[in-house]
Amino acid sequence: MDTNRAQRASMAADAVRMLRVLDTQGHSLQGTEYAHRLSEEALWELYSWMTRVRLLDARLMNLQRQGRIGFYGVSTGEEAAVVGSGYALEPEDWVFPALRQGGVALMRGMPLSVYVAQCYGNALDVQKGRQMPCHYAYKRANFVAWSSCIGTQLPHAVGTAWAARFKGDPLVVLAYLGDGATSEGDFHVAMNFAGVFQVPVVFFCQNNQWAISVPFARQTASESIAIKAKAYGFEGVRVDGNDVLAVYEVTRRAVEKARGGGGPTLIEAVTYRMGGHSSSDDPTRYRDPQEVEEWQKRDPIIRFRRYLESKGLWDEKKEVQLQERLNAEISQAIREAESAPPPPLETLVEDVYAEIPPRLRRQLQEVKRFTE
């Protein structure tokens, strides 16, 4: 009984304190040996993915401002949370994303040209233009399409994890959410079900301090988001979301625990949304610029770069080569996406029905008469 009480006390403490591997200057903190689990190649790979996501976001936002795509939402400032969590998964695992996890789809094998084409909604887009731009899905990577309705993906993720447990599949489901989603009923439904049935799901909350224009201080009176897990009977962990090594380690542990039958975990990655909620938002209307300046000093890429430099894994020459290579890849992907034609008219019905109803077939033929 005393052992269980001690474990619960430790879980509650982890839900409030901030777990870190690196300080804000990129130095390893005493007693945090997590970084040594990763090879030098893996460390550079993490940095490369973070850099790729930032460059890609900047390029696609420029396309939106030029009117070449209709909508976009960047993950600038949150790259450590995205890449660190995604890096902890195995190929058989499933991902239920929210707005800013498109980089995880790329990490899991989604071709860059297909990723870009999704923002155009053309024939190269696997969703054939049926989703809003930036709402990615890629079946081969077990990366599920998401909805702009906040939190709806969470019960779906739990259902997938429950099915995996029934089938005996040794997979884990990673369910992303923002701080705003914790105020939704679907968050309670998913957390409660996951706790009762101990399904192999990891909830990963990117607490970027703003739910569009609602600050985190108006979101909850709890000490943290992570501590909410205690009420549902499982572990909550609060991690520095701008420390990619800490995010990776915390997510890796939660994934391994879930895969081994240990049940769910709620991870709160404390980070910051440097830009607007999306290309449709103007954060200067509701946000103090001094707050943004303070968080700029905690830039996750600069922080990790300093760590790599201290280990002799980064220098200016390698940085230039990396950026040139990534920008060339992005430019090629944009050219491929923009050269693709619109989706064939037939996909309006053929991708929806196994057997097309006669009325829809007649309507399709009528549309073709006016467009051919």
Q: Which residues are designated catalytic?
A: 273, 277, 286
Answer for the pair 215, 181: CB distance below 8 angstroms, yes or no. no
User: Distance between CA 40 and CA 279 in Å, rounded?
Assistant: 36
Quote helix, strand, coil % in the chain, to nearest 5: 50, 10, 40
Q: How many other C-beta atoms can be found within 10 angstroms of the C-beta atom of residue 147?
A: 13
User: Distance between CA 21 and CA 196 in Å, rounded?
Assistant: 32
User: Distance between CA 174 and CA 96 in Å, rounded?
Assistant: 6
72: left (phi over 0), alpha (psi -120 to 50) or beta: beta
**Structure tokens that stand for 320 in this block:** 């230039």
Buried b (16+ CB within 10 A) or exposed e, 271-304: bbbbbbbbbebebeeebeeeebeebeebbbbebb
Give the DSSP letter of residue 232: G
Buried b (16+ CB within 10 A) or exposed e, 64-95: beeeebeebbbbbbbbbbbbbbbbbbeeebbb
